[in-house]
């Protein structure tokens, strides 16, 4: 099964991004991403055997317990690649929790399934983003779009992607709430220790 970890967006953020997609909708060379597919990929795993699923779900729950919710922001747009002919138009996502989660997932997958399980995601640096459109034929770049979007990220998910002729179908296999219990446990332990003295 083809898998990835991702953070999906609240409806109000999706609505603002869909409005921005109108900038490329007039050009046949750009194909917009469907609103229900808009997300931030934390780690792409590619094709994995079903036997890996239990480990990947356990990793998601473990990281959810370690990491607290955080605030995400979207301020502007960009292209991959930035120079030359772009293939992807995206919205830049900001928030320190993105990189912490992505790195935790990479480390966890490496420890559990080995380095081979990370090959599908490539070795490019992690840049949190939301793909808005893909370029399928010659089409112009559109000017940058400025956003002032912000939302609380309270969970992430393990997602199955099935490639169909009309486009991918995403199925959320499980959601992992961000609890940050590790930090609370430390604070509580410190509090208990101070009361002991």
Q: pLDDT tens digits, residue range 45-79?
A: 999 999 999 999 999 999 999 999 999 999 999 99
Phi, psi of 145 (to 5 degrees): -110, 135
Q: What percent of the chain has pLDDT over 70?
A: 92
Characterize 106-143 residue by residue with b for buried, 16 or more Cβ atoms within 10 angstroms of its Cβ, and e for exposed.
bebbeeebeeebbeebeeeebebbbbbbbbeeebeebe
Q: What are the tokens at 145? A: 């779009």
Residues serving a catalytic function are: 39, 129
Q: How far is CA 65 from the centre of its chain?
A: 18
Judge whether residue 91 has pLDDT over 60: yes
Rounded distance between C-alpha atoms, residue 145 and residue 120, angstroms: 31
pLDDT band at 188 (very low <50, low <70, confident <90, very high): low
The reported pTM is 0.89
Judge whether residue 92 has pLDDT over 50: yes
pLDDT band at 194 (very low <50, low <70, confident <90, very high): very low
For the segment 8-30, the average pLDDT, to the nearest whole number, is 95
Judge whether residue 121 has pLDDT over 70: yes
H helices of 114-180, where?
none
Judge whether residue 184 has pLDDT over 60: no
Strands 30-32 and 129-135: antiparallel
Judge whether residue 113 has pLDDT over 70: yes
């Amino acid at each position: 099964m083809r898998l990835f970890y991702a953070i999906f967006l609240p409806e109000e953020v999706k609505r603002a991004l869909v409005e921005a997609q109108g900038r490329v909708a007039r050009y046949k060379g750009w194909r917009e991403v469907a609103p229900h597919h808009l997300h931030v990929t934390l780690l792409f795993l590619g094709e994995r055997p079903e036997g890996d699923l239990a480990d990947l779900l356990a990793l998601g729950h473990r990281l959810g317990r370690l990491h607290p919710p955080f605030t995400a922001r979207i301020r502007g747009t960009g292209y991959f690649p930035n120079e030359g002919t772009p293939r992807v138009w995206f919205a830049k996502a900001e928030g320190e929790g993105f990189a912490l989660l992505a790195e935790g997932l990479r480390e966890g997958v490496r420890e559990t399934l080995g380095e081979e399980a990370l090959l599908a995601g490539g070795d490019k640096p992690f840049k949190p983003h939301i793909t808005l459109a893909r370029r399928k034929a010659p089409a112009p770049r559109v000017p940058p779009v400025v956003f002032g979007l912000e939302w609380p990220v309270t969970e992430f998910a393990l997602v199955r992607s099935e490639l169909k002729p009309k486009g991918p179908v995403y199925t959320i296999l499980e959601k992992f709430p961000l609890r940050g219990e590790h930090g609370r446990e430390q604070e509580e332990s410190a509090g208990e220790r101070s009361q002991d003295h």
